[in-house]
Structure 1
Amino acid sequence: MSDRLKTFIRQRASDLGFDVCRFASATDAWPAGERLRAFVGDGRHGAMEWMETTLDRRAHPTAMWDGARTAVVLGMNYGPDQNPLPELDDRSAGYISVYARGDDYHEVIKGRLKILAGQMAARLGADVKVFVDTAPLMEKPLAQRAGLGWQGKHTNLLSRTHGNWLFLGTILTAAEIAPDEAESEHCGRCTACLDACPTNAFPAPFQLDARRCLSYLTIEYAGAWPVEFRTATGSRIYGCDDCLAVCPWNKFAQGAREMRLQARDALAGPRLADLMTLDDAAFRALFSKSPVKRIGRDRFIRNVLYAVGNSADLSLIAPARKLLDDPAPVVRGAAVWALSRLMAPADFAALAASVSEPDPEVRREWGSRSVAEGRSLSPPGLAGG
């Protein structure tokens, strides 16, 4: 009965566009909870306070629902057609992480999980609950337990058949279904992902300090970044794929077959000059149905301006200057930094002397750039600041 049931669920999952479907116990011992507690205890979660407030609920799958007995873990491939990292060479274009170039995967996956869960409930006569990664359920350890892949040295799920490019979803059920074999770790001595990180966000293999991660900084962090991360971000304006894209296991990966997850033309290498002109309405229109929309226009333009400061593109000075009058302090502060990188020192010093800035944080940005560094700024395009 269990084998026939698993075949039924897998077939329905495949019909709904999932590329892999496997099963794990939801009640077994859960060491991942203690690892998460240590991660938060060390402060490596940064400003993601929700990780603290939901820590107990993340401690074990049954902490989410004490009736859970089996986890059905599903993966949907979102692989790019080619290695995206060469796109970083174009410093006048913004780099958006591969996962965010199509429709929001939460919406794509959750709707289909609900359909599958309904079919399972009718077949099993048991309660079910659906989870995507917005819920406090540790999906990657569950996926490894179910055999979809393993958490690599970069802490992301890694698959022998799909490389690094799998979105995950989970259905917990009160039914007892025989688990599949867990996956073991297959990274070996490879350190490609650790070596590729532009901000050294991995203190050790299988450990991440989110405070140094460009995905965290571009998406989760609300304020002005430390200068070292501004220069390291290059042209990355939403997320970072470096540790994923360099993995040798990607040689087995294929492009996404789900049309809604494939990259939109407008989000593959958008020009920084165009992005700087976005007001809130234009931002929402461009990123309709995109996960980028959730960070809001102001945080996004901050990211864009950091990329502008790294671009060496002097044609971006004029649009960056217009943002010195932006209503959002975080945008004005990022514009100061971008201009300090692009303008000749004397021109930037003259500009600084002419500006009256009401926000104390942005005034400090002007002061730190014009006083501490303005006299020794490198020529545009060279390292500095």
Structure 2
Amino acid sequence: MSVLQTPVNPEEREVVRQAVHAFLTDLCCSFKTGINFYDSSLGTSGKNQNHILTGFLSSLQKASTDALSADLVISVLRACPDQLHHFLSSLAPTLNPRPSAAWVSSMDMLIQIYEAQPTELSFLSTKLPSAHLNLVAMSLVLVLPPDKVMSTFTWGLKQSSQPVRHKILDFLKVALQRALHILTNVRSLADSSDPSLAQLGPRLKESLLKKLPDAATLLGCWTKMMAERTQPNKDVSKEDIPSVASIQHIVRLQQVMCLYQELVPTMLSDSPHHVSSLLEGVRGVGEGDGGQDEDRMLPQLYLLKLLAGTDARQLPWAKENAARHSLMYLLLEMTTKVSASRKLKEVTQHLVAELLQSTGLFQDQDQELAIWLRHLAVTMVPDVVDFTARMMTMFVSNPYPYMDPSDGHRGGGRCR
């Protein structure tokens, strides 16, 4: 007996799909009417309290190719974060970095999964003593995937494919934002209500730094990117994923660096030889890239934010690049390059002033420094910028011959 094949109406099929999706979402996400159980340890106790969900999620490893399936996975993992590492461990092979559309889809879903996770840590307000809970491990569950996934991301940042590196940086931006938000909440709770949490922040930061790519890897991405600007990778055109605009990649890498610097304030001062490379790279963007002034200035603003976040006394002020330009010259030049936006001018001048003030040599002179920078930006004469940069470099590199006589004059004036 043959079975008659009747054509399926696409609209009716979609109605059925939506109904099944709604049913499964309620079944897997509701603690009241569903099959899931609340795990207060977020899966860190060693006991899987939702093994049925584990099996179900494992059957959805290709969820990234279907919007409804991906939405179901994201909803289940938001309701039951104890399943995050179970599911992502099974998903690990599809997250192995490679220039393919399937990998990009898997990474997009991973980013959406962590964006959907709560940033407020309800387990910190539990009445159980902290000794009964592994608070560091529980916090990490909500920030980073399992180690075997993170290790492949570190490896992926060293690959030649810029789109692959860019997508990994997209995830790291989300992870670092979540980590910093959680650390802020922990410090706030420790200060206001639970002093016993005071040690959680440093321990969590230490664990994060062990799992995240290190500063050398991120700075290596910059070196690789600068090399690609002069010698483009010919294999990129053969990859099965869209290319990334150079300026977008620069900005994303700088955003990740800025976030990472909040965890490691000495990132640049520990690698002073990279400062000149950062400045030269951003200078090249300003000179060689088209687009709106605001777009071209973004790399400059993020670079200034990076420099303002480091110890300015440790920066290589006297070191010159191949064109015999010092760090001071490149900074002052930035204030003269902004032409279209008054707001961009003000932000640039403010960040440069903030960086110079952090040297400790311009105390109580913030207004004078701001006026000086504004007039320098109006002048826009290369010889003036060069002369000013040389004088400022001499002062910042070795201020004592200039400060001691000045202090002597001030002291003499007070005595008289």
TM-score (norm 2): 0.31
TM-score (norm 1): 0.33
Query: Larger % of helix: which?
Result: 2
Of structures 1 and 2, the larger Rg is shown by 2
Query: Larger % of strand: which?
Result: 1
